[in-house]
Chain A
């Protein structure tokens, strides 16, 4: 008859509500503080990472910047410690490796995405990614125990039979076959899976609509690749290239095993040389005093190059995402 109005199920006073809100807020801050503490700890670690290496190299930068950047030769106990040979060696090995890896790797990724039968694609892609996970010391071992003797027995006599061999490669007579060229080849084999893994992914996300539209206009398979796929994937491919370059410049033990470890500016590729990272690894064990600071200074150089390359590649990959979003 008369309308019964049910009482509100749960009546809270203003104060209670405020208290509950506050407790929620305080538990939120408790959780939040843990997260922020972890974040700050990581920030401290990364600042410490850059800071300690720079700090420990400071004495060498303060007095011998010119020698570090432009001096040739490394006189072990007391100096001078010239870094030019390592800088040049790093540039030579990583650029040659990059050229080999990008040319061959691009063809490989194109064939993985467009040429081989669909059911093998996942298998091949998984295989490539597994190879990218093989520790670099294993690549170095293979270069050192298999490729170097092979270079010595087969490749070098063959190169020496060329006309102008002496002018091109220098007077080749290395005992164990270790050289800058071998280091570049091992680096190329090592960064190939990395480059292929990334570039395959970049190529395979090119929208199918574009490819089908271009095929329906009568383009051949190569025209589709050349005119549609590669331009669309261009920026991402540059990103992959820079990542591969960053990996090649930072590689340590593989180069330490096969480059020969001679700190002398060397443009003949069949002579032994070294790179920044490899030199740090081989010399650090016996280094003392100023030499440690000089090796740390080489580490700072390596860090600058690597961080620069990473930032560029990161920027390029994010631009690629925007390009694909527009398409």
Chain B
């Protein structure tokens, strides 16, 4: 009995103790809250530090590039070398635009069929060859692009004696695109539900028919997305084409001619002594970035539209 009375009416010492405990826990809680606020604020600061240079980059790109790209001659004329009498004569970049299109066209012709086929093979086979090709394609996908240039130089120019040409450049870009296409095609084909395949086989379709008429159409979205992303990566690459395309000053669609390319023109004009070329270079960069953005945004929209349809 006496014990219970003591519990109902705590002593003054008990009150003090309770208050102390409250104070300490308040302190701990406040410290934890403060710590949380400080650290999340630092994360927010990190976000703004990331944003500042990237926004600056885009702002300066548009600010300095727009005046250049608004002239139609910029797209239709050949480049000119400024001289002392006409220091502002820079001409246009028609050769670089055509060169970039030609390079990506031939590179796509080389890389897409093989890439998609290898992707299908990797998705439908469990052989040891498939396992090792999977590792190889993932490793190649991250390989420095300058190595593709070295490869194209030693194989196409040195061993096959073809010379500095669009073909050598597109070979380098094709080697760059291949692993990207392979990886995305494999993922896309793997994503096709097995019930579709089995339904086709159960209806008596032959395996290659199932693959061509059922699996490929179903996987097409993913494959096309991967191809567009691969092209958008290849378009912006400077290092592989720097070593092998030869930098032609004419408009040419022929695979064996030396060609120019937009990234290469950026690299070379930036280093030029002429202020007019250094101004023009922002225009080339803007056109290139718009190319790349349009490609990757269309890949993204294409992918999300098909996902909604499903």
- Using CB atoms and an 8 Å cutoff, list the residues of chain A in contact with chain B: 24, 27-28, 30-31, 34-36, 38-43, 45-46, 48-49, 52-53, 55-56, 103-108, 110-112, 114-116, 126, 129-131, 133-142, 144-146, 189, 192-193, 196, 220-223, 225-226, 243, 246-247, 249-253, 256-257, 277, 280-281, 284-285, 295-296, 299, 302-303, 306-307, 309-311, 314
Contacts A38-B121, A134-B236, A249-B144; is A45 near B43 (CB within 8 Å)?
no
Q: Which of B50-58, B77-85, B89-97, B251-259 contacts A (4 or more CB under 8 A)?
A: B50-58
Hey, which chain B residues are within 8 Å of A247, CB to CB? 142
Residue from the set A116, A129, A247, A253 with the largest chain B CB neighbour count within 10 Å: A253
Contacts A137-B266, A252-B239, A302-B146; is A130 near B297 (CB within 8 Å)?
yes
Contact present for A306 and B142 (CB under 8 Å): yes
Contact present for B44 and A189 (CB under 8 Å): no
**5 A-B pairs whose Cβ atoms sit less than 8 Å apart in the complex:** A34-B117, A56-B154, A135-B236, A142-B57, A144-B271
Contacts A136-B236, A142-B61; is A223 near B267 (CB within 8 Å)?
no
Q: Which of B10-18, B66-74, B191-199, B287-295 contacts A (4 or more CB under 8 A)?
A: B287-295
B24 at the interface (CB under 8 A from A): no
Hey, which chain A residues are within 8 Å of B289, CB to CB? 134-135, 138
Contacts A30-B208, A296-B154; is A311 near B146 (CB within 8 Å)?
no
Mostly, the B contact residues are helix
Contact present for A280 and B47 (CB under 8 Å): no
Hey, which chain A residues are within 8 Å of B155, CB to CB? 48, 52
A302 to B271, CA, bound (A): 25
Interface size class of B (residues with CB under 8 A): 35 or more
Contact present for B206 and A28 (CB under 8 Å): yes
- Using CB atoms and an 8 Å cutoff, list the residues of chain B in contact with chain A: 32-33, 35-37, 39-40, 42-47, 49-50, 53-54, 56-57, 60-61, 113-115, 117-118, 120-122, 124-125, 129-130, 133, 135-140, 142-151, 153-155, 158-159, 175, 178, 182, 206-208, 211, 232-233, 235-239, 242-243, 263, 266-267, 270-271, 278, 281-282, 285, 288-289, 292-293, 296-297, 300
Hey, which chain A residues are within 8 Å of B144, CB to CB? 249-252, 277, 302-303, 306
Hey, which chain A residues are within 8 Å of B37, CB to CB? 222
The contact of A140 among B50, B117, B147, B267, by CB within 8 Å, is B267
A105 to B57, CA, bound (A): 17
Residue from the set A112, A193, A310, A311 with the largest chain B CB neighbour count within 10 Å: A310
Hey, which chain A residues are within 8 Å of B146, CB to CB? 250, 252, 277, 280-281, 299, 302
Contact present for A35 and B114 (CB under 8 Å): no
Contact present for B154 and A28 (CB under 8 Å): no
Shortest Cβ distance from B243 into chain A, in angstroms? 5
Contact present for A253 and B143 (CB under 8 Å): no
Contact present for A223 and B36 (CB under 8 Å): yes
In the complex, number of A-B residue pairs with CB atoms less than 8 Å apart: 255
A110 to B46, CA, bound (A): 9
A221 to B136, CA, bound (A): 41
A108 to B40, CA, bound (A): 10
Hey, which chain B residues are within 8 Å of A27, CB to CB? 206-208
The contact of A28 among B56, B207, B292, by CB within 8 Å, is B207
Shortest Cβ distance from B180 into chain A, in angstroms? 12
Shortest Cβ distance from A2 into chain B, in angstroms? 34
Hey, which chain A residues are within 8 Å of B143, CB to CB? 250, 303, 306-307, 310
Contacts A27-B206, A43-B136, A302-B147; is A49 near B175 (CB within 8 Å)?
yes
Contacts A112-B47, A131-B54, A221-B36; is A41 near B114 (CB within 8 Å)?
yes
Contact present for B236 and A43 (CB under 8 Å): no
Hey, which chain B residues are within 8 Å of A220, CB to CB? 32-33, 35-36
Shortest Cβ distance from A84 into chain B, in angstroms? 19
Contacts A52-B155, A129-B296; is A253 near B238 (CB within 8 Å)?
yes
Contact present for A135 and B278 (CB under 8 Å): no
Hey, which chain A residues are within 8 Å of B211, CB to CB? 31
Q: Kindly report which residue of chain B lies nearest to residue A220, judged by CB atoms.
A: B36
A269 to B130, CA, bound (A): 46
Hey, which chain B residues are within 8 Å of A133, CB to CB? 232-233, 236, 292-293, 296
The contact of A222 among B40, B124, B147, B281, by CB within 8 Å, is B40
Contacts A43-B136, A145-B278, A220-B36; is A138 near B266 (CB within 8 Å)?
yes
